[in-house]
């Protein structure tokens, strides 16, 4: 199955108050931890608000600037889906999840079968990210509007497959205190 990863890195980080993706965790910027986790896949990084700050850290990556980043998450998802329109699936990864690992990503991808429209990782019953979405839903993704992600089109589907994963699929950095808590564990 040909899978491309869309790494979402275009947001404003309102709650954090500055570019959270360049904050260090385990010796590297958070965005680079996420990229490392998906490094075995074809990938595109979608940037927006902090594009100029991020570019020096993304020298070996395919980066697309989303000029409509203020319109929300859906705009970045649509850019990524267009980029990978000929692929069998996309893995939508959030740029602020520093605990993700290649093993977790591989587990999500290997959980896919033809009866799944998507594969969602979960930790102790809580759905997380990144989400693998089959090409069969690309048209639905292209209809998303505003600051919503794929959750909106997946929430009532019966053909979504779930895979149990570790805490890394529900841990993201939205605030300074999130980052401080992570650094203390």
Nearest CA among 39, 148, 169, 66 for reference residue 31: 39
How many Cα neighbours within 13 Å face the side chain of 150? Answer: 32
- Through-space distance between the first and last CA atoms of the chain, rounded to whole angstroms: 36
The pLDDT, as a whole number, for residue 7 is 98
Dist. CA 185–CA 178, nearest whole Å = 11
Which tens digit of pLDDT belongs to each residue from 139-182? Answer: 999 999 999 899 889 988 999 999 999 999 999 888 778 888 87
Tell me which CATH homologous superfamily contains domain 3-183. Spore Coat Polysaccharide Biosynthesis Protein SpsA; Chain A (3.90.550.10)
Instruction: Please give the DSSP secondary-structure letter assigned to residue 145.
Output: -
Dist. CA 21–CA 173, nearest whole Å = 9
Dist. CA 19–CA 111, nearest whole Å = 33
Q: What is the DSSP string of 6-30?
A: EEEE----TTTSS-GGGSEETTEEH
10 Å Cβ neighbour count for 22?
16
Whether residue 17 has pLDDT greater than 80? no
Cis upstream peptide for 130 (omega within 30°): yes
Q: For all residues of the chain together, what is the average pLDDT?
A: 94
Which tens digit of pLDDT belongs to each residue from 42-54? Answer: 999 999 999 999 9
């Amino acid at each position: 199955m040909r899978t491309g990863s869309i790494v979402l890195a275009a947001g404003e980080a309102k709650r954090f108050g500055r570019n959270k993706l360049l904050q260090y965790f385990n010796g590297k910027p958070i965005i680079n931890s996420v990229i490392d986790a998906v490094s075995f896949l074809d990938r595109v990084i979608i940037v927006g608000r902090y594009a100029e700050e991020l570019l020096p850290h993304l020298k070996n990556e395919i980066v697309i600037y989303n000029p409509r980043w203020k319109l929300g998450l859906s705009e970045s998802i649509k850019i990524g889906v267009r980029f990978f329109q000929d692929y069998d699936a996309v893995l939508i990864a959030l740029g602020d999840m520093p605990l993700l690992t290649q093993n977790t990503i591989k587990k999500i991808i290997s959980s896919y079968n033809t009866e799944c429209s998507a594969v969602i990782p979960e930790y102790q019953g809580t759905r997380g990210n990144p989400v693998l979405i089959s090409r069969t839903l690309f048209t639905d993704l292209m209809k998303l509007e505003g600051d919503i992600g794929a959750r909106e089109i997946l929430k009532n589907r019966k053909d979504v497959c779930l895979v149990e994963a570790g805490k890394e699929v529900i841990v993201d950095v939205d605030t300074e205190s999130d980052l401080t808590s992570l650094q203390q564990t």
